[in-house]
Amino acid sequence: MAITGKILNYAMKKFMKSEAAQNARVQVELPNGEMYDMSDIVLLENRILGDSETHRLVFRCQKPIHNIGKIIGKL
């Protein structure tokens, strides 16, 4: 199941209550385990007629310039 904008908004509001989350580096983990920095978020419109999903939020990422080291835990 894909995450919708409503679900993303709900989760982000919960995270943003924490100062640690507000100042955290935003990354995307690829299926192979590589971590990429998030560089852009865009709202795109689908051209497929009759599709129930008329728009999509796309998160663009790039290889990190600076390595921040090994992850030591999940909060």
How far apart (Å, rounded) are the C-alpha atoms in residues 73 and 75?
Answer: 6
Q: What pLDDT tens digit does each residue of the chain (75 aa) get?
A: 789 999 999 999 999 999 999 999 999 999 999 999 999 999 998 887 666 788 889 999 999 988 778 888 887
3-state secondary structure the chain: CCCCHHHHHHHHHHHCCCHHHHCCCCEEECCCCCEEEEEEEEEEECCCCCCCCCEEEEEEEECCCCCCCCCCCCC
Domain boundaries, the chain: 5-62
Q: What pTM does this model have?
A: 0.73
